[in-house]
Chains A and B, each alone.
Chain A
Amino acid sequence: MKELLLLSGLGVLALVSGLLNLRKIMMPLVLTGLLANIGFCIYDWNSNELVYNMLMMDNFALAFSIIFSATAFLWFISAKDYFADDNNFSDHYALVLFTLTGGLLLVSFTNMVMLFLGIEILSIPLFVLVGSHKTKLRSNEAAFKYFLLGSFASAFMLFGITLIYGITGSFNTQAIAVFLSQAGTVHALVFAGMLCILMSLAFKVSAAPFHFWAPDVYQGAPTHITAYMSTVVKTVAFAAFFRVFQTSFGAMQEDYMLALAIMSAVTLLVSNITAAVQENVKRMLAYSSISHAGFMLITVLTIRTHSAGILLYYAMVYSISSICAFAVLKQVKIHSGGREMISTFKGLLVRNKLMAFSMSLALLSMSGIPPLAGFMAKYMVFVAAINNDYLWLAVVGVIASLIAVFYYFKIIIVMFGNTPDDIDNSTIILPAHIRIVLVICCIGMLLLAVMPDILLTIL
């Protein structure tokens, strides 16, 4: 309850911050608020607080709240200029904070109404944020595509919830689970409903074959918002995905397993093969984000063996690496006249050492090279898959990782091997806040690699 009041209260405050002349102190206020949110979550640990029978702050919800608050904390620092050079700073703060509120509902719901409201509170501000470069047609196009497919997916989710309500007579996730585990033969409408919910959640986490919106939206959106979508939004969407299938549909695992397994295999192959031919780094990172969705889907598949900790660890590792990569991309873009091709990274080592090192650390971590955190995350996912008799899926995962190594290394080779172009060979001087973010991200990636147990075993 405290967490919800804190985040939504902060959002409302941000909405009027323009009137109250809070422009200067808004950023420290938001960062303190996020730290306070983490503090509340740690304080509430093991309390299993039930909020009006709608939300339950169990350890799963609290752990995911902690990691999405931590990611949002890093993101806010790295996106300082997104909130600075604009007359609409109060709207931007408010919209981002409202998406965090929606995220909190998504990680803690015990009622299908809250699942729907969480998805909508998360998505509607995001439609606006994606289109926040108002005069650029690309940003407009991304916002339009995201809006259209987002509300399309929400309608499917609603249809699914309604069908399940019609058969089970309840919106409560526990009541649905009890009904489904006691019913001998399950009505066909339940399968239809489950399929609809699965489809809409796959849309939200951008899993194939419902991933077509993601590259376009990620490319067209402002870079900071792309970073936000591929980290915080992806984390909470997966938490919701996991929660639905863990609580409500736990009794029906045999029925959806195969669909999920095929879905994640297709996601892994399609995204990695397409990413390998991209020349635009932002679009490549979008495909890489889809491919990580494929890995995280495997953890949903292995719910039986309590894979929540693996999902938590994977999401955190991926978020940190992604924040780092996008922060570097944004700085490179600023210093090369808005270009974001692979060739723009030529000779980054000469232009700025910290950027080149942290970018390569992030890319190596994402591609799963030992001893970095990404290797540990992927290893845990593969072990979980093999323990659940999905050896073939683990093999697909390994093949996908090999393809991924190829395109991540394309950037690293360009950064280290080439001398800078004639056009942009100036050294880049990083602002202090970006330097802080990059250093924190690098330390985080190494720390998580050395001590994976801090996240893997707490759930």
Chain B
Amino acid sequence: MQTLSGIPLNYYIYLSTALFCIGVLGVMVRRNAIIMFMCIELMLNAVNLLMVAFSRYLGDSSGQVFVFFIMAVAAAEVAVGLAILIMIYRNAKTSDTEVLNELKL
């Protein structure tokens, strides 16, 4: 069994897959916009964890550099997302996504 600091590599894969799935479920189930954003962040951080684990396991630093890119992009993405949310809040006075139902067949 391949290990990383005494913990088998498989465990890292299981953990980050579980975190990723929790994020996916959260985005699908929750209706509050802020919580949906948090779930997307959770998905990205699950990826970061897995990337760092693989990078350490392969002895290749490019994976860790990629993690910095992901973190920077995630920050930019959330900045835009929160701006959109504030815009919605100003027009609709709520952050609940139920009000967003104008566009339909």
Query: A155, B47: Cβ atoms under 8 Å?
Result: yes
B63: chain A residues within 8 A (beta carbon)? 162, 165
Tell me the smallest distance from the CB of A153 to a CB of chain B, in Å: 10
Cβ of B27 under 8 Å from chain A: yes
* Interface range, B side: 35 or more
B80: chain A residues within 8 A (beta carbon)? 124, 127-128, 147
Chain B binding surface SS class: helix
Tell me the smallest distance from the CB of A84 to a CB of chain B, in Å: 23
Alpha-carbon distance A147/B73, docked complex (angstroms) = 13
Query: B103, A155: Cβ atoms under 8 Å?
Result: no
Tell me the smallest distance from the CB of B18 to a CB of chain A, in Å: 12
Query: A124, B77: Cβ atoms under 8 Å?
Result: yes
Query: B91, A155: Cβ atoms under 8 Å?
Result: no
Would A143 and B84 be within 8 Å (CB), given that A120-B73, A137-B91, A162-B51 are in contact?
yes
Alpha-carbon distance A135/B84, docked complex (angstroms) = 11
Q: Which of B40, B91, B92, B100 contacts A151 (CB 8 A)?
A: B40
Alpha-carbon distance A194/B58, docked complex (angstroms) = 20
Tell me the smallest distance from the CB of A281 to a CB of chain B, in Å: 14
Tell me the smallest distance from the CB of A151 to a CB of chain B, in Å: 5
Q: Which of A151, A169, A277, A278 contacts B60 (CB 8 A)?
A: A169
Which residues 23-51 of B sit at the A interface, judged by CB distance below 8 A? 23-24, 27, 33, 36, 40, 43-44, 46-47, 50-51
Cβ of A392 under 8 Å from chain B: no
Cβ of A191 under 8 Å from chain B: no
Alpha-carbon distance A143/B80, docked complex (angstroms) = 10
Tell me the smallest distance from the CB of B33 to a CB of chain A, in Å: 7
Alpha-carbon distance A349/B62, docked complex (angstroms) = 60
Tell me the smallest distance from the CB of B93 to a CB of chain A, in Å: 11
Cβ of A16 under 8 Å from chain B: no
Cβ of A294 under 8 Å from chain B: no
Cβ of B11 under 8 Å from chain A: no
Would A169 and B84 be within 8 Å (CB), given that A151-B40, A152-B27 are in contact?
no
A163: chain B residues within 8 A (beta carbon)? 50
B51: chain A residues within 8 A (beta carbon)? 162, 165
Query: A134, B87: Cβ atoms under 8 Å?
Result: yes
Query: B103, A113: Cβ atoms under 8 Å?
Result: no
Query: B88, A140: Cβ atoms under 8 Å?
Result: yes
Query: A159, B47: Cβ atoms under 8 Å?
Result: yes
Query: A155, B44: Cβ atoms under 8 Å?
Result: yes
Q: Which of B20, B27, B60, B102 contacts A159 (CB 8 A)?
A: B20
Give me 23 A-to-B residue pairs in the complex whose CB atoms sit less than 8 angstroms apart, sorted by A's number.
Answer: A116-B70, A120-B76, A124-B80, A128-B83, A135-B91, A137-B88, A140-B87, A144-B84, A144-B85, A145-B103, A148-B81, A155-B43, A155-B44, A162-B51, A162-B54, A165-B66, A166-B13, A166-B50, A166-B58, A169-B58, A169-B60, A216-B103, A220-B103
Contact surface of A with B, Cβ cutoff 8 Å: 113, 116-117, 120, 124, 127-128, 131, 134-138, 140-145, 147-148, 151-152, 154-155, 158-159, 162-163, 165-166, 169-171, 189, 215-216, 219-220, 274, 277-278, 283
Task: In the A-B complex, list the 5 residue pairs whose CB atoms are closest, starting with the nearest.
Answer: A155-B43, A166-B54, A216-B103, A141-B100, A158-B47
